[in-house]
Amino acid sequence: MTETYTLHEDPRSGNCYKIKLTAALLDLPLDTRQYDIMKGETRTPEFLATVNPNGRIPVLQIEADAESHFLPESNAACWYLASGSRLIPDHRYAQADMLRWMFFEQYNHEPNIATLRFWFEFVGKEKLSDQQRAQIMPKKIAGCDALRVMDGQLENSDFLCGEAVTLADIALFAYTHVAADGGFDLGDFPHVQGWIERVCNLSGFVAME
Amino acid sequence: MTETYTLHEDPRSGNCYKIKLTAALLDLPLDTRQYDIMKGETRTPEFLATVNPNGRIPVLQIEADAESHFLPESNAACWYLASGSRLIPDHRYAQADMLRWMFFEQYNHEPNIATLRFWFEFVGKEKLSDQQRAQIMPKKIAGCDALRVMDGQLENSDFLCGEAVTLADIALFAYTHVAADGGFDLGDFPHVQGWIERVCNLSGFVAME
């Protein structure tokens, strides 16, 4: 059974990039279909009915024989593509520990670091609402806390779950390596900086567009 | 090798309850150690150094022979306990789809539905900051969106990933069944209501304290 993969994406999104980086590291072919989230293209009735009722990208479309599945959530799509590969450890604790960093990414890292990047780079500082403006400082603090936790871990190992790259690194690399766009200074996190270099040097690595 | 499990928890937390419900459904013994998050007991230097550098509960402590591991993130702890059990589907797509709902829970559901419950029930409406007050309406809207997505899925199947309970149900049940504490009216989501009843009727079910 040969499967084909189509990524429904906005190329500016780090969440979409995670899936492209996973596919590249595993040398899996991946088609893409672009949407502009700033124009509401993921909130159309057609998108909600067929691609994702949650109105968000990325979504990984998986086609095999006559069947087609749409899988939302960036980290779940990475898990699907990497199933059975070296990017997911087999050992029970190591696997759970990898997922721990992926849930940490969605709860503690993305809502702070990715959101500030989105507000500053794509919405524009001058267009932020008062409510968004009031959240800049709390998100800055929470984002620095997340980077500090990563830095502590990366002081002890080359990658987040030991000496080999896993999906935990891919999930957290996406928005960390462009954190400066959200006003974060990675100079404060030297172990994170070394890790970014190691990820960039992986065989098969592709850069974010 | 016999493992023992200790849950570092605050019994009022739905994230902690997920792990207790998983253990109960699988009939696994689980010790607990309580902390009061309102008194900063998870931010002490000792807690940060030994239990979780991220200063949060729940953390699942896993002990086997001389080794001890501390696993943060509720959904990762559930994954660890349920490894190899009927609560995690074997099939590649089904497994990724289950994780999809667990990431959805941490990104779209918990920060809205659990946070409003925490603010209203534990902080107290009259003690909220202006900044928190300004976030009530956006969180109400985003929480209703999450419940609507769940309701659409549960119109088609008894549980979130088909006809059998999985960790996706446990993860989303925790804060959904007490969503009224955060001002949500589950009467608007009849399929979610039916699903709550089905979860409560599972063999081995334990209620939240």
* pLDDT tens for each residue of A192-204: 999 999 999 999 9
Residue B65 — very low, low, confident or very high, per pLDDT cuts 50/70/90? confident
Q: pLDDT tens digit string along A130-146?
A: 999 999 999 999 999 99
Query: pLDDT for A5-33, tens place per residue?
Result: 999 999 999 999 999 999 999 999 999 99
Both tokens of residue B202? Answer: 């599972």
A104 touches chain B (CB under 8 A): yes
- Percentage of chain A exceeding pLDDT 90: 96
Please tell me the distance in Å from A77's CA to the nearest CA on chain B. Answer: 7
> Nearest by CB to A103, which of B75, B92, B95?
B75
Give the pLDDT band (50/70/90) at residue B209: confident
**Given CB atoms, is B133 within the 8 Å cutoff of chain A?**
no
**Which residue in chain A is spatially nearest to B153 when comparing CA positions?**
A53
Best to test chain B binding among A5, A75, A101, A106 (most B CBs inside 10 Å): A106
Residue B2: per-residue pLDDT? 85
pLDDT of residue A1: 63
Average pLDDT estimate for A147-176: 98
A96–B83 CB contact, under 8 Å: yes
| 8 Å CB contact of B111 and A108 | no
pLDDT at A175 over 90: yes
CA distance A134 to A176: 23
- Is B134 within 8 Å of A131 when comparing Cβ atoms? yes
A104 and B73 within 8 Å at the Cβ level: the answer is: yes
Q: Please check whether residue B102 touches A, CB under 8 A.
A: yes
Distant-in-sequence, close-in-space partners of A111: CB < 8 Å, separation ≥ 6: A139, A142, B107, B111
DSSP code string of chain A: --EEEEEEE-TT-HHHHHHHHHHHHTT---EEEE--GGGTTTSSHHHHHHT-TT--S-EEEEEETTEEEEEESHHHHHHHHHTTSTTS--SHHHHHHHHHHHHHIIIIIIIIIIHHHIIIIIIIGGG--HHHHHHHHHHHHHHHHHHHHHHHHHTT-SBTTBSS--HHHHHHHHHHTTGGGGT--GGG-HHHHHHHHHHHTSTT-----
Tell me, what's the pLDDT at B1?
63
Instruction: List, for residues B68-119, the tens digit of each pLDDT value.
Output: 999 999 999 999 999 999 999 999 999 999 999 999 999 999 999 999 999 9
Cβ-based contacts of B84 with chain A (< 8 Å) = 92
What domains can you pick out in chain A, each with its CATH number? 3-82 (3.40.30.10), 92-200 (1.20.1050.10)
From the CA of A52, how many Å to the nearest CA of chain B?
A: 9
Whether B104 and B143 have beta carbons less than 8 Å apart is answered as no
Q: Residue A209 pLDDT more than 90?
A: no
Cβ-Cβ contacts under 8 Å, A108 against chain B: 54
Q: Using alpha carbons, list the distances in angstroms from residue B77 to A44, A122, B104.
A: 37, 36, 17
Shortest CA distance from B3: residue in chain A: A93
pLDDT tens per residue, range B135-170: 999 999 999 999 999 999 999 999 999 999 999 999
Nearest to B116 by CA among B85, B134, B139: B139
B97 Cβ under 8 Å from any chain A Cβ: yes
Distance CA A2, CA B158 (A): 31
- Rg of chain A in Å (alpha carbons): 17
| Residue A65 confidence class, pLDDT cut points 50, 70, 90 | confident
Query: According to the model, what pLDDT value does residue B66 have?
Result: 85
